[in-house]
Structure 1
Amino acid sequence: MSTDLQWLLLRKYNSFVVKKVSEGPIFSTEPGNLRNLHSHKYSGLANTKTIDIKDSPSGIQVTIKKSKASPQQVRTARTTFTIRNRSGGRRALGVVAGLAKKGYRPDLRAAALGRTSALIATQKEKKPSPPRKARGKKATA
C-alpha cells in the first residue's frame, strides 16, 4: 500500500490526533512524529522511513524504521541505537545529523536536530537560583 493511500486513510480517523483548539494547529502524539504536527511529512505511521527520537533512562534513543521491511516484521524492521547521557551535545547532534547526511530522510534534519537539542536541554541539571539581594532600607541595615 502506498504512503499516500495510508495517509488518506489515517488523516481523519486516527487515535493519535489531538485537537485542542478548533481553529489552531492539529497535533499528533504518534511515535516517529518529530514535530508532533498532524501532517503527512512528519507522520510516523504513513511514511516508510521514519526517525523516532525519545528520552530513555540510559540516554537519547534514536529508532529508525527500515524502508523495505515487510508489514509482518515489527521488531526486525527497526534499528535502535542509544546516545549515552553525558556524551555531549555535539556528539548527539552529530549522530542525528549524520542520518540526514547519509540520505535517510534529509527533509527531517532540522526537526531531528530540534528534538535532540530539546532532549539534551532537559537532561542538564538546572543551576540553583541566586539568593535575592536586599533592596531599600534592608540593604542599608
Structure 2
Amino acid sequence: MNVNSFKYSGLANPKSVAITSAARGVRVVTQKKDKQSYPAKSANSTVIAKTRRATAKSVANLIAKSRYRPDLRAAAVARASAIISSQQPKKVHAKRESKGRRATKA
C-alpha cells in the first residue's frame, strides 16, 4: 500500500502480502510465518495472467478464502486492478480537425 502503518507493514507483521507487476499480469507474493528468518525460503510467489475480473477474483481467493490475511483483501484487489490498468496499451486518438471562423483565421 506504500502507507507507513502497522497494518500494512511487512516487517512488523509475520504474514504479509505483496502485489507487483509481472511481465504479463500480476505477481502475488505471500510470506510464510514459520520461515521468517530465512528470507530466500519465506516467500510463496504466484503469477496471475487473466482478465481483470478473473484476476480480481483469484487475488481475493488467494488472500481471503485461505484465511491468510482477510483484512488485506480489498487493498490487494485494488492494487491488482491498478497494475492491470497500467499494463493496458494507451489508446491513440486522432486529433480532431478545427472548425469555425477561428480555425480559418490561423
TM-score, normalised relative to structure 2: 0.86
Number of residue pairs matched by the alignment: 102
Q: Secondary structure at the match of 2:56?
A: helix
Q: Quick check: 1:107 aligned with 2:54?
A: no
TM-score, normalised relative to structure 1: 0.66
Identity of aligned residues (%): 37
Runs of 5+ in structure 2 lacking a partner?
none
Query: Which one of 76, 85, 92 corresponds to residue 41 of structure 2?
Result: 76
Distance, in Å, in 2 between the alignment partners of 1:57 and 1:102 is 26
> Aligned-residue CA RMSD in angstroms?
1.6
Q: Quick check: 1:52 aligned with 2:18?
A: yes
Distance, in Å, in 2 between the alignment partners of 1:82 and 1:56 is 7
Deviation at 1:77, TM superposition (A): 1.3
Deviation at 1:83, TM superposition (A): 1.3
Runs of 5+ in structure 1 lacking a partner?
1-34
Q: Secondary structure at the match of 1:114?
A: helix
Task: Please identify which structure carries the higher helix content.
Answer: 2
Runs (4+) of structure 1 exceeding 6 A deviation are: none
Taking structure 1 as reference, are residues 125 and 100 closer, same or farther at Cα in structure 2, changes over 3 Å only? same
Counterpart in 1 of 2:53? 90
Query: Which one of 66, 81, 84 corresponds to residue 32 of structure 2?
Result: 66
